[in-house]
A and B are shown apart, each in its own frame.
Chain A
């Protein structure tokens, strides 16, 4: 009787694991099939080199570059904001803060990641943008700067929490060695601990980038819906994710070419995040070998 129960539990655990894998494979399959259908009609070279993305207009262009530039620009702004802030926080919590404070501030910071992104989107649109407009006169109502900054706030805990874990995991013997040589706390942090924890810190940054690239609501609400190939953070742009939302919510006919564009855009996004995740997995593996 006991044995049957064991077998049953084992099989159900296996099933849950398999379901997850199957769903992932299913998503990849659907993305690929629809994307292949799309590329039958639009040459892949046009997709990669055309500088306009206007599938919903009569003069149709299918260049992914404007969407990609929107995604990269907002992500870059978010990362440029989140990495220095997040890293400073992690060093402060790990090396400077009293232990009791560390215990309460970490969960508090992680709350930032728990705020629904739609709230962040409205925060960007209705608070940050007007605030920025007060000293950047040419700033449009929709822009990548404000969306990027707020996205940066959202991903701070990804950077700070994981980097702090990495710093905290550096063996105490290294801290003692550095202090024993006469290092100040600052020298210890930047010359010994950050380099020693670098792989963990890099992983945290990659995950943050991956999160920023895939983020949807904030950019859909605050960055606008105008695909344009630009590096100007003050004008409206459209990201890959925002485009997918726009089309999914619109009245595009099922199975049409316009409909398939979202799969082409989706697979581009997927390739990016997949590469980033693989990269971070590789670094994490290296990291594990180093300390165990």
Chain B
């Protein structure tokens, strides 16, 4: 009996180690091959950073995990993307359902031109939740998680557009958290922000990894070194090196990686 229980725990932990997985992934935009065959496994409850020069395919690769490339003209892909062992590119997958599980934070803060409250409640409202008390609690909880509550609690009905860039980006994260995803994808979330706001978001990412699996694309190598557990270096549509951040930044295996992180190109 005890044996059985232990086995179950082991099974679960194996499943949970690799939250995201890519198998032989190739991406084409019309005839241009943006991703040239990538196999990769991303661990649960860790922060994984994607680095690489512009146009290396890291954003494209990130956006595969919530199927945001589906709207790009000429997009075509081969291979499989698995979340918790399920291929999310299978025909019967409900994309809307998938995106509730996989939240995304974008490069430029993109709050809806609605009130702060409506922004955070949006994801729940489109799921048909109308219970005002529940929505209110959830909005408060989410804003507290991103440490924005104290700054906006008296202005919940004000337009989100009136917030500063850093506050808008934290609002966008709160909006994502409100629907309780298990994975958060971040596409250069601090590139449009000042250093102070950047520090706040980095701190937030550090706290969020207790509960969420986080994948972050960044141009800033110091940032990748500071906040991530694992780092993947992409170059020209290929995954060049993928290792623990400490190892990759101090003792990279490949010459290309070393050239990039020491600033010799990119």
Chain A: residues with CB nearer than 8 A to chain B?
99, 171, 173-184, 187, 191-192, 195-196, 290
Contact = CB atoms under 8 A, between A and B. Distances in A.
Nearest to B67: A179
B99 A181 contact: yes
25 contacts: A173-B106, A173-B108, A174-B110, A176-B68, A176-B104, A176-B106, A176-B110, A177-B110, A178-B122, A180-B66, A181-B122, A181-B175, A181-B179, A182-B96, A182-B98, A182-B99, A182-B100, A182-B127, A183-B96, A183-B126, A184-B96, A187-B126, A191-B122, A195-B113, A195-B114
Nearest to B66: A180
Contacts of B161: 290
Contact of B112 (A99, A178, A179): A178
Contact of A180 (B99, B111, B127): B99
Nearest to A171: B110
A178 B249 CA distance: 36
A247 to B, nearest CB: 49
A179 B106 contact: no
Contacts of B110: 171, 173-174, 176-177
B172 interface: yes
7 interchain residue pairs of minimum CB distance: A173-B110, A182-B99, A180-B104, A182-B100, A181-B123, A177-B110, A182-B96
A179 B103 CA distance: 10
B4 interface: no
Contacts of A181: 99-100, 103, 122-123, 126, 175-176, 179
B68 A179 contact: yes
Interface of B: 66, 68, 71, 73, 96-100, 103-104, 106, 108, 110-114, 122-123, 125-127, 161, 172, 175-176, 179
B68 A182 contact: no
B106 A180 contact: yes
A192 B59 CA distance: 25
Contacts of A184: 96, 126
A247 B98 CA distance: 67
Given A177-B111, A182-B126, A183-B126, 18 more contacts: A173-B110, A174-B110, A174-B112, A175-B71, A176-B71, A178-B122, A180-B68, A181-B103, A181-B179, A182-B98, A182-B99, A182-B100, A183-B96, A187-B126, A191-B122, A191-B125, A195-B113, A290-B161
Contacts of A178: 112, 122
Contacts of A173: 106, 108, 110
A178 B106 CA distance: 12
Given A99-B73, A179-B71, A182-B179, A196 B113 contact: yes
Contacts of A196: 112-113
A239 B97 CA distance: 54
A192 B108 contact: no
B189 to A, nearest CB: 13
Contacts of B125: 191
A180 B70 CA distance: 12
Most buried by A among B98, B113, B176: B113
B126 A191 contact: yes
Nearest to B126: A187
Contacts of A192: 112
A183 B176 CA distance: 12
B108 to A, nearest CB: 6
Contacts of A177: 106, 110-112, 172
Contacts of B175: 181
A38 B161 CA distance: 52
